[in-house]
Structure 1
């Protein structure tokens, strides 16, 4: 119901007092708000406007979690065994390497935490304030006592405040009071503010607009005193993280079982149980893919951080991985496809027509003064809606110097827009008249209904609406009525309205939208427009935006009449839905989801929240969206730009593709490590790899996965292929086949290097150590070749962006320098059980590494060709 308060409508009701402007003294004292310098001083004094909440892991907790990782526990156990067998120097140096690798892991996870910290700050509620006499949108945590805050429907109240202005304002305070009905609010005109003139932190504006002065922030607010906390970004467990944990647990269980068998077999056959345990622990370290959880956390966290730099805030980390699978984008027209900068382009009545482009420099015809006058009166004086702002600007320009602007009139009550009536009316009192004057505006068909028009006149108006809509204008009808009784009726229909005319507003399509929609089409993503506008307007905008308009438009009325089965039959071809209500958007999202689509949905209003929640990826508008919509969404477009949404899809595909490339590398790198840990033992050879060797390799694998692969750009053709299947797994057959082919080939080469070196070694003493040395050198250099090959499966080996190339260059140089130090420093060389190789043997090792790189490239080419033919 449109009623503003609990009492009857009219002068004696609540609606009369709560809509009065505040006294001039109150207005002037707060009109400009605080200055930035004073606000900064108060923020320093009082602290940020935020409540105690669960924050991300502290540095000490993060360090403790890194130290308790299975890999490091295994390394500590190996160090203990070295101590038991009397190799104290080896044990100490091994533990020194442990701290180096722990430092790398800590740095990686801390980097991910910092990225999430930045996202939490971005996703905090926003507030529209007056600072230095200008409106500014700031993070709610920056509010201070004394700030002047503007409130509108859908906002979450960011701090406790006294209301100095309220227009039909109602606030849901159930969070604090448990009351299910919103509380009507009025301005505090003098003296201490009562609860009806206060707004409390954390409550929700459900109707109207208002303005208040902040009285308490953070823990000193009503919400803070009862210990509640606001929700921010949570570090959520994503489906692929769950899949990865499952894979890691399964591999670890199998690996530990095999390690036990290997330790027993070694001890039983050779009578050396301590070295048998050491062999078993080495095998366990070799097979445990402990870097995978770190990779996932870092990739998703940094992916969200990179999106934030593109003006797309990821409030839900799982949305990052799902973006790449998006098949349908359901988008609003206004502000998403269009610029949301409306201007009054045309005014039409049955007596005259005004067109801005054709009438530039001409005065508005007298016959249209009443139409624009009542369009202004039917809008809020302090407009938040772009249409109302455009109408107000047109009034100030075209009615300047006339008697048709009424700053002295008093607003008595209003009838808000509702689902049943797509029109709103505002009731005014003129100082020189007893009768109330009612101004109404809304959808032309709703205004026609309010005016109880005869069929011929209604048909004439409908024809004019279609004509204006075909020109891409958003059309509003305007009507006027007078009412003499004290008590106002309950419904707008009870007024005797007189039709005044039509207002056509233009909202141009954003310049980059056609290109973005063409990119979606190339990527196999369907774009569907859902709008409350007239069908002809929707078709005109769709045509300009590059959407297909071949199929018939489905209107909200038609949609309501369709069964679920009939709707499913119509979804295949329809790309435009007009005159739809928020609950119908929810039905459409569910209908697309029932077809197996992965649905992205944009919205900005309170009533859009259910559809945003139901979509696979809810997308809220950051600039014009309500706080409720932002909190319900997985993504927030900070600039309300459709092109940013396409950028988000591109990043989603990049994250998933880079994750798969990284996993191919991990599989390929672990195959030879596992093989070299177990095969020499089975063949009766001395242990080839020991814990310190695997630890050294961790210095390469972890940074390569988390730095080089994460920074890889998207493949050039990635936005020209259909979306991946929603059920596609990260660890599928393609990933395993690529990794196993590369790894098995490398393992065969390394065994050949080991056997060949043992064969050509000059002395029995140096044979084992020299073979181990050259095999390890080839393994390390081949790992660098593996990184280079797997950076991209669609580009040449030397391609990539500057950031990724730079990261790889640093890792390659650091690895070669570390390897050189191991070979050159006798104390470290003894720890690794290495012998000093000749220059000729080092050149041979380099040649073998080159063969490994050629093998990797052949595997990439061969599998790519085979997969391309299959696809």
Structure 2
């Protein structure tokens, strides 16, 4: 069996291509920039900048272009970071393979494997391609990444079906063998699943659709008010040119460029912050969808559990002796998960890997005819100690008089397997010195004493129960989907705190379900066992059809279609497969289920702050619009000119994209139910409340203006007084929309960006009012000090009244809730 020659391998590689999994083409910088610029939100910014250029307002145009550059930079940087991290994960996970080339064993990169190569497989090897087994010596592979089954399966030469095939991405955990490559790349089982992902269409996030709706509404309002100003000027004063100028000023104030900035910047900065907490965002819209998640579907193996075996139970009269014997029945340098579990448990009890003075004499390997491993040791006293472990029935047969009867053994085994445990039996024996009594060839002739049963389990991650409890407190339903046994699934679900009242649904039961029956199943059941990839995809689609926002976590190839179909696909980055990571919208770099719940918290916080910013944008534009219209009714000159509006935008934009983005979440953010998938960002009540706040603030600004008119101030002083009231009211509205539930709590909540923006705005306002040269640029003349104090005090008093009203509404809601309870 010489394998291929180097020339044959090179020819096949050139003809068929490398052995790589399908992945979406990675875009270069220009392609990414083009993709970002095709977003309607940024197109709106560029269109607004073009309008201002045509109008001759180069300052506002430059400001909008700068906003476009900022958003593009943040988005491209996030994409670059994500792709770099994903490539690093791909490079780390790319295995190498030992093959026969030119009749000699050699190591090649997995990408260079071709059909016909002969793989040399040993314990610990990651299989790099689908291959037919040619020779096998107790060859067992871990297929958990492909099937979800955490127990290794045997592979034999000449066997029919999958029993004679080793698949790409599986791990050899026991034995050795050779195998001929029969499929590479997209033709492997892994590759076929990856290729199927291309047919699944990802959806736009609810917030993207909602933001488009808000922008359209706001644009209509802007056009209507602009037209109203032009018409009023023309009809009331007969000066249509001045009306056009006033309309342009109002349009500059009301064109909704803040909304796209808020959405893009909040999601980009949110993705950056999540990456710092080990959640790598591959698709930014998934961030806001996190906050609406109502159903969290999770794999078991490697997601809820640690994907390793551990000793969970010892059914023995002398547990210490049983564990000592079990660890002495483990071969050296074993990759078998149960051997590793026994050795880890012994190490935790301070048992040495090998007793001092003992010497390993011989082992009797496990075989299909005798599923037990026996090892003979020479003790420091010179006698021979026999340690055996294996299938309970086999070990019991080797213990003549000390083993329990079948009637006694079966209930104990059934109880342990019902709890999701894998069970081995251990036994021990002693013989005189091997020098005088040679070791037999048949280990069944040993006289062994039964020591007991050892139960193994893939242990639950320590922090999972608390994470599941927090998710449930937040109204998130947790559903487990696993390829493992029903008993194991039930045991892990109960440990994790996942609801098992409706029992465990077997995957075979889903095959005969139509869509209606499947909808009934997912409505009541939260644990699904022995499910295949197509089952997971159907389950996710059925959950989505019920109207919930669905997230799916997983790490294996078998999870990939469901990851892609879910609203939010969350893959494990450490041990996850390339296919799973490419399918997911978020990758957890620490493989920690707790990070999923943390990501949900951050998603809710980001959405909450986007809603704050949207409410603030609506409220702050009301006094600006009102002060553009009020001079028409009083017969005064316009109070707001383009430069004034630019100044106001320089306060509004940072307030939206910096101050409110940094606000911490409310204390009850994870005690609220998920928001409905169709819940608008600004419903009617919220819209009216925001406009009402703006209207009340406008009344304060208008009162300040009217006091100036009554005092007989000239237009320049009146404009300075009105501008002071607007800027002051703007800053107080920022404070009103910060988190904490009250102005007092908002002031005590750290947010350096707020104080920076407030200080900068106050400094510029002071220069514009008090410094003659700067005041001349704005067309201002300093008004009397008493009226300036009123321009500050009235907005302050107004925001305190608004805060008091908010507090009273909150108290009324609490009282009503307590009464109904």
Q: TM-score, normalised by structure 1?
A: 0.67
Q: Give me the whole-angstrom Cα distance separating, in 2, the residues matched to 1:602 and 1:442.
A: 35
Q: Give me the whole-angstrom Cα distance separating, in 2, the residues matched to 1:626 and 1:122.
A: 14
Residue matched to 2:797: 851
Q: Give me the whole-angstrom Cα distance separating, in 1, the residues matched to 2:588 and 2:245.
A: 54
Residue number among 528, 531, 540 corresponding to 1:580 in the alignment: 531
Residue matched to 1:275: 242
1:571-610 correspondence to structure 2 within 5 Å: 571-610=522-561
Residue matched to 1:46: none
Query: Are 2:268 and 1:301 aligned?
Result: yes
Contact 1:788 1:797 in 2 (8 A): no
Residue number among 780, 783, 786 corresponding to 1:837 in the alignment: 783
1:22-421 correspondence to structure 2 within 5 Å: 52=28, 55-57=31-33, 69-77=46-54, 80=56, 95-96=58-59, 99=62, 102-103=65-66, 106-124=69-87, 126-127=89-90, 137=92, 165=119, 167=121, 170=129, 206=189, 238-267=205-234, 269-343=236-310, 359-362=322-325, 401-404=360-363
Q: Give me the whole-angstrom Cα distance separating, in 2, the residues matched to 1:67 and 1:535.
A: 54
What do the CA deviations read for 1:394-447 (whole angstroms, capped 9, x no partner)?
A: 99969993543779x9xxxx9xxxxxxxxxx9xxxxxxxxxxxxxxx99999xx
Query: Are 2:446 and 1:469 aligned?
Result: no
* CA separation of 1:290 and 1:541: change in aligned 2, threshold 3 A: same
Contact 1:101 1:699 in 2 (8 A): no
Aligned residue for 1:685, secondary structure, equals coil
* CA separation of 1:306 and 1:568: change in aligned 2, threshold 3 A: same
Aligned residue for 2:322, secondary structure, equals coil
1:726 is displaced (CA, Å) by: 0.8
What do the CA deviations read for 1:354-412 (whole angstroms, capped 9, x no partner)?
A: 997663434668xxx6xx78xx9xxxx996x96796589999969993543779x9xxx
Q: Give me the whole-angstrom Cα distance separating, in 2, the residues matched to 1:503 and 1:321.
A: 47
Q: Give me the whole-angstrom Cα distance separating, in 2, the residues matched to 1:57 and 1:868.
A: 49
1:721 is displaced (CA, Å) by: 1.3
What do the CA deviations read for 1:279-318 (whole angstroms, capped 9, x no partner)?
A: 1101212222211001101111222222211111222222
Structure 1 unaligned spans of 5+ = 1-15, 24-48, 81-93, 129-136, 141-146, 152-156, 173-181, 186-195, 209-229, 415-424, 426-440, 446-456, 479-500
1:819 is displaced (CA, Å) by: 0.8
Residue number among 632, 637, 653 corresponding to 1:702 in the alignment: 653
Q: TM-score, normalised by structure 2?
A: 0.70
Contact 1:524 1:720 in 2 (8 A): yes
Query: Are 2:757 and 1:811 aligned?
Result: yes
Contact 2:571 2:580 in 1 (8 A): yes
Q: Give me the whole-angstrom Cα distance separating, in 2, the residues matched to 1:336 and 1:355.
A: 34
Structure 2 unaligned spans of 5+ = 7-24, 100-108, 122-126, 132-164, 169-179, 192-196, 347-351, 372-388, 394-404, 427-451
* CA separation of 1:850 and 1:811: change in aligned 2, threshold 3 A: same
1:236 is displaced (CA, Å) by: 9.2
* CA separation of 1:686 and 1:728: change in aligned 2, threshold 3 A: same
* CA separation of 1:843 and 1:308: change in aligned 2, threshold 3 A: same
Number of equivalent positions? 673
1:408-447 correspondence to structure 2 within 5 Å: none
Aligned residue for 1:718, secondary structure, equals coil
Aligned residue for 1:359, secondary structure, equals helix
Query: Are 2:739 and 1:792 aligned?
Result: yes
* CA separation of 1:402 and 1:653: change in aligned 2, threshold 3 A: farther
Structure 1 residues 391-400 or 751-760, which shifts more? 391-400
Q: Give me the whole-angstrom Cα distance separating, in 2, the residues matched to 1:324 and 1:60.
A: 24
Contact 1:304 1:313 in 2 (8 A): yes
How large is the RMSD of aligned CA atoms in angstroms?
A: 4.8
Q: Give me the whole-angstrom Cα distance separating, in 1, the residues matched to 2:67 and 2:507.
A: 57
Q: Give me the whole-angstrom Cα distance separating, in 1, the residues matched to 2:167 and 2:668.
A: 56
Residue number among 490, 501, 507 corresponding to 1:539 in the alignment: 490
Aligned residue for 1:601, secondary structure, equals strand
Q: Give me the whole-angstrom Cα distance separating, in 2, the residues matched to 1:566 and 1:272.
A: 71
Residue matched to 2:769: 823
* CA separation of 1:253 and 1:574: change in aligned 2, threshold 3 A: closer
Q: Give me the whole-angstrom Cα distance separating, in 1, the residues matched to 2:128 and 2:71.
A: 49
Residue matched to 1:655: 606
Structure 1 residues 651-660 or 540-549, which shifts more? 540-549
Aligned residue for 1:57, secondary structure, equals helix
Q: Give me the whole-angstrom Cα distance separating, in 1, the residues matched to 2:811 and 2:314.
A: 62
1:673-688 correspondence to structure 2 within 5 Å: 673-688=624-639
1:617 is displaced (CA, Å) by: 1.9
1:823 is displaced (CA, Å) by: 1.4
Residue matched to 2:564: 613
* CA separation of 1:265 and 1:52: change in aligned 2, threshold 3 A: closer
Contact 2:701 2:795 in 1 (8 A): no
1:654 is displaced (CA, Å) by: 0.9
